[in-house]
Amino acid sequence: MGRELNHTEAAALLGAYAVDALDGDELDQIERHVDDCGACQIEVAEHREVVAYLVPGSARAPEGLWDRIAGSLEEVPPPLTMPAAPVIPIDRGRRRFGPARVGAAVAAVAAMTAIGILGLKVVDDDRRIDDLRALAPATELDRTVKAAVADPTGRRIALASTDGRLEADTVLLPDGTGYLVSSNLPELGAGRTYQLWALVGTSKVSVGVLGAQPGPAGFKAAGEAWGLAITEEMSGGVVSSSNDPVVVGTRV
Amino acid sequence: MVWAAPNRDAVAAMDLRDVSDAALVIAIGRWRQDALAEAYRRNAGAAFALARRLLGDRTLAEEVLQEVFLRLWNQPDRFDPERGSLRSYLLAQTHGRSVDLLRSETSRRRREEREVRETAEHGADIERQVIDSSVATQVKDVVAGLPNDERTAIELAYFGGHTYRQVAVLLDQPEGTVKSRIRSGLRRMRKDLADAGVGVSWAES
């Protein structure tokens, strides 16, 4: 493993990286940088879009290849599962976490149970995965979050993990605007992000990514969200997720 | 307990021939084999042409394609429509896997013998490669407008599967120069394609 590249050094390698013309330490170094650099991710994607134009588009794949691919697909897709909801030991939980946390944990279990019953489908309404951290300056966001918390029409949604250890506090206004007020989610490693999902009807709609260490953030939840969930995903977020929610909660 | 179950009904009525890449991949995410078939119909020809060009071996190219489309089936969420087209994603996957194979010891020797022969015979030939029915003229013009040094470096790296250091040796040029030419050539092409009305500016916002 080589040293970390600064952005200028990394940028000089992006063309070669985009066409797989790096190897060894340089490849490791640039991959580490690109994983964490949105600007470099965009440039690499642009280069790859450009070279895609150089490949003959009118060529034909060999006869029979699709049949072999189709024949190797699994007949029954693997279920996208999460662990069964645990029984919350209320008494122990109260001593350990206090009533509020137990309440959040119970709400989380209830939400997970509801998810299981409904068999949520995964949708991303407009295919955008917003970076929620970038939506407003910190000071302005702080004021807005406080105003939303104080808004009598706002509904608080307490998200929690099944064991009650992890929590996220959110508020959702009637127009669908919402805010992540606080959380105790642990910081994620390089290349990982938290992603927020709105539970709407029987769907799980991507709201946006929260980064590796979520702070207060604003978002717009599509439709009539009856709950929110946060998953851990790769940087940049995903269109659909099969990961277990880290925390989840429903409107009370 | 199910977090997100396949839901065929929700997308059953979708005419897959007309849907966007993003909608197609959502359908694949719901285990619709006909959606994967449509992704294959749209992109397999180009992916096969690229793999075969790189590997010089039809059987290996077919194996790469099989791997790439199975990966799309099993991990559709690795495709991010915010980061480009499904075509460029699948071609990047195809290129990466092909290059991995190329750089394995056995095929490397075989490829190097072939490459030396072909380079001596033809030199850079991206211009001959560019065939895409809807934008062929614009792309050919843009490629023809590239400085020779940039075009040759991109050709050897992308279609030859060489590292930029290997390209530098082949062209007898400094490594840093080749590295810069690959990037500047790609950037120049992007700008010229956009100027010619070929949209590659999806990432700008």
Q: What is the pLDDT of residues A23-42, one digit of tens each?
A: 999 999 999 999 989 899 99
Please report how many Cα atoms fall inside a 13 Å half-sphere around the Cα of residue A52, on the Cβ side. Answer: 24
Phi, psi of B161 (to 5 degrees): 75, 20
The full set of domain ranges for chain A reads 1-73, 90-250
Amino acid A200: pLDDT:
75
B134-141 long-range contacts, CB within 8 A, separation 24+: B134/A57, B135/A53, B135/B198, B138/B193, B138/B196, B138/B197, B138/B198, B139/A53, B139/A54, B139/B193, B139/B198, B141/B196
Amino acid A124: pLDDT:
40
Please tell me what DSSP assigns to residue A232: E
Amino acid B108: pLDDT:
60
The percentage of residues in chain A with a pLDDT greater than 70, rounded to a whole number, is: 71
Q: What is the pLDDT of residues B114-132, one digit of tens each?
A: 655 555 454 445 554 544 4
User: Whose structure tokens read 């280069």?
Assistant: A47
**Cβ <8 Å between A16 and B157:** yes
Q: Which of B67, B68, B48, B73 is nearest to B58 (CA)?
A: B48
Q: Which residue of B has its CA nearest to A12?
A: B180
**Cβ <8 Å between A42 and B83:** yes
Please report how many Cα atoms fall inside a 13 Å half-sphere around the Cα of residue B52, on the Cβ side. Answer: 16
Q: Which residue of A has its CA nearest to B58?
A: A62
> What's the rounded Cα separation, in Å, for the pair A52 and B85?
9
Amino acid A122: pLDDT:
38
- Interface confidence: ipTM more than 0.85: no
The mean of the pLDDT values for chain A is 74
Q: What is the pLDDT of residues A54-108, one digit of tens each?
A: 888 777 888 899 999 999 886 544 433 333 333 222 222 222 333 334 444 445 5
Nearest CB neighbour to B158, from listed A19, A72, A83: A19
pLDDT of A224 above 50: yes
The percentage of residues in chain B with a pLDDT greater than 90, rounded to a whole number, is: 49
**Cβ <8 Å between A73 and B36:** yes
Amino acid A30: pLDDT:
95
Question: Which pTM was predicted?
Answer: 0.57
Query: Can you read off the two tokens belonging to residue B191?
Result: 């700008």
Please tell me what DSSP assigns to residue A50: H
Flag whether residue B29 sits within 8 Å of chain A, measured between CB atoms.
yes
Q: What is the pLDDT of residues B43-52, one digit of tens each?
A: 999 999 999 9
Query: Can you read off the two tokens belonging to residue A29?
Result: 């170094």
Per-residue pLDDT tens, chain B, 205 aa: give them: 333 333 344 444 457 887 888 888 888 887 888 999 999 999 999 999 999 999 988 999 999 999 999 999 988 888 888 788 999 999 999 999 999 998 885 556 565 666 555 554 544 455 545 444 567 788 888 998 999 999 999 999 999 999 999 999 999 999 999 999 999 999 999 999 988 887 654 333 2
Q: What is the pLDDT of residues A154-194, one digit of tens each?
A: 888 889 888 888 999 998 888 778 888 889 999 998 888 88
**Cβ <8 Å between A52 and B46:** yes
Return the CATH class of domain A1-73: mainly alpha
Amino acid A151: pLDDT:
81
Question: Which of B64, B186, B188, B201 to probe the A interface (max A CBs under 10 A)?
Answer: B186
> What's the rounded Cα separation, in Å, for the pair A164 and A182?
15
**pLDDT grade for A1, boundaries at 50, 70 and 90:** low
Question: Which of B2, B3, B93 to probe the A interface (max A CBs under 10 A)?
Answer: B3
Domains and CATH numbers, chain B: 15-102 (1.10.1740.10), 113-197 (1.10.10.10)
